[in-house]
Amino acid sequence: MRICFNVFVCLLVILFLSNCGIGDRPAESGSDADNSRPVVVGGERQIWTKQQANAWYAHQGWLVGANFLPSNAINQLEMWQAESFDTATINRELGWAQSLGMNTMRVFLHDLLHQQDSLGFYQRMDTFLDIASRHKIRPLFVFFDSCWDPFPKTGKQRDPKPYTHNSGWVQSPGQAALKDSSQYPRLEAYVKGTVKRFAEDDRILGWDLWNEPDNMTGAAYEKVEIANKVDYVLVLLKKTFGWARSQHPSQPLTSGIWKGNYPVYDSLDRMQKLQIDESDIISFHSYDSAAKFERLISYLEPYGKPILCTEYMARPNGSTFEGSLPIGKKYNIGMYNWGFVDGKSQTIYPWDSWTKKYNSEPPLWFHDIFRRDGKPYREDEVKVIRSLTATAP
């Protein structure tokens, strides 16, 4: 009788534990569970494990694309604002991307677009996603950016400064919002609202939360940047990861390390450690030679997660399609070159065009692949890209 009672009690305990979800732990490598799904603990979406990240990546194929801005937009605001949102140009230029075999694009958003008209902003994002989807392109969206002009304003954007690299690009958030914690609820609403709206949208590849967060913009704006900018960004980037995860996105989150060497974790600075620790997948930038590009990959591989190179290709620096793209394919690194069509961003000119005077097209383009009429800058580069993506001309 006692034996039967004990068996009965054991069965009750087993039934209770199974109903409490004790088995709902992150799946281990080699299990039959769907490792690609986000794990939620205590109502919070967790940072992806190596197994989850790699299970997701296994379904993506080799990712190849560019940092995309329509040629008739000088910055993120001009791309997305209602009065200058140009679906015809976007469709045409994404068609050129598809012709190269590109299947993704890195695309910058801006917090002021959400403040200006959140519903209209979301509708335009949805329109963009429809266009991109028709071209079999899935964007990696960027929320914030620490590069160039720290004083963004909505409305009509200024004309390009002649022969100057990215003369109209603006930071997000701007300096005023970055220093003012009373504006953080607005930034929180932007991140949470956007991720929530598209959290299950399979047209989106992922979310890049902050581009080059500790970039001080060099000679272009060094006189107006705040000296302790990085201290503000560190706090806000940590919050941003939490805001995005709280909406349980099915897509991965990342923020790319972009400077120096980082052979081991202990060699990372505090910003890089935050970026690595909080990211579902690893991302980085390299405008270096093929040899250094491959060396940087070797530093990142031990983290055991998928890797995206979200910026590369600066011809005078020795960062080229011929040198870097085959290495990216060899290691299955997602590859996004900077620039696509020569336009109002004028990134065919080098970074030093802020301090050095140019009067005509440079003898060697810094970035970009196409002229505005769709003609490639270099036919041999287009052939390299197509050969590696296995796209017929």
Q: Given pLDDT bands bounded at 50, 70 and 90, which one contains residue 44?
A: confident
Comparing 30-39, 157-166, 236-245, 371-380, the range with the smallest average pLDDT is: 30-39
Q: What is the mean pLDDT of residues 13-27?
A: 35
Residue (of 251, 127, 256) closest to 196 by Cα position = 251
- Could you give the strand order of the β-sheet that contains 64-67, starting from the edge strand earlier in sequence? 253-254, 206-211, 138-145, 104-108, 64-67, 334-337, 307-312, 282-285
Q: What is the mean pLDDT of residues 178-196?
A: 98
pLDDT recorded at residue 15: 39
Select 63-389's CATH number: 3.10.20.740, 3.20.20.80, 3.40.309.10, 3.30.450.20.
3.20.20.80
Is the predicted pLDDT of residue 6 greater than 90, yes or no? no
Q: Is residue 392 within 8 Å of 373, Cβ to Cβ?
A: no
Residues in the chain: 393
Instruction: Show the 3-state SS of the chain.
Output: CHHHHHHHHHHHHHHHHHHCCCCCCCCCCCCCCCCCCCCEECCEECCCCHHHHHHHHCCCCCCEEEECCCCCCCCHHHHHCCCCCCHHHHHHHHHHHHHCCCCEEEEECCHHHHHHHHHHHHHHHHHHHHHHHHCCCEEEEEEEECCCECCCCCCCCCCCCCCCCCCCCECECCHHHHHCHHHHHHHHHHHHHHHHHHCCCCCCCEEEEEECCCCCCHHHHCCCCCCCHHHHHHHHHHHHHHHHHCCCCCCCEECCECCCCCCCHHHCCHHHHHHHHHCCCEEEECCCCHHHHHHHHHHHHHHCCCEEEEEECEHHHCECHHHHHHHHHHCCCEEEECCCECCCCCCCCCHHHHCCCCCCCCCCCCCCCECCCCCECCHHHHHHHHHHHCCCC
Q: Given pLDDT bands bounded at 50, 70 and 90, which one contains residue 273?
A: very high
Is the predicted pLDDT of residue 174 greater than 60, yes or no? yes
Q: What is the mean pLDDT of residues 29-53?
A: 68
For the CA atoms of 48, 255, 198, 193, what is the dihedral angle to 10 degrees?
Answer: 110
pLDDT per position as a tens digit, 242-272: 999 999 999 999 999 999 999 999 999 999 9
Q: Is residue 108 within 8 Å of 145, Cβ to Cβ?
A: yes
Q: What is the mean pLDDT of residues 58-82?
A: 98
Q: Given pLDDT bands bounded at 50, 70 and 90, which one contains residue 12?
A: very low
- For residue 111, count CB atoms less than 10 angstroms from its CB and return exposed for 0-12, middle for 13-18, buried for 19 or more: buried
pLDDT per position as a tens digit, 274-324: 999 999 999 999 999 999 999 999 999 999 999 999 999 999 999 999 999
Is the predicted pLDDT of residue 148 greater than 50, yes or no? yes
Q: What percent of the chain lies above the pLDDT cut of 70?
A: 88
Is the bond preceding residue 173 a cis peptide, omega within 30 degrees?
Answer: yes
pLDDT recorded at residue 286: 98
Model pTM score: 0.90
The label of the residue with tokens 């088995």 reads 23
pLDDT per position as a tens digit, 209-233: 999 999 999 889 989 999 999 999 9
How many angstroms separate the CA atoms of 198 and 217, rounded? 31
Is the predicted pLDDT of residue 47 greater than 80, yes or no? yes
Q: What is the mean pLDDT of residues 123-151?
A: 98
168's tokens: 């109209």
pLDDT recorded at residue 42: 59
How many angstroms separate the CA atoms of 310 and 284, rounded? 6
The label of the residue with tokens 């706090």 reads 235
pLDDT recorded at residue 346: 98
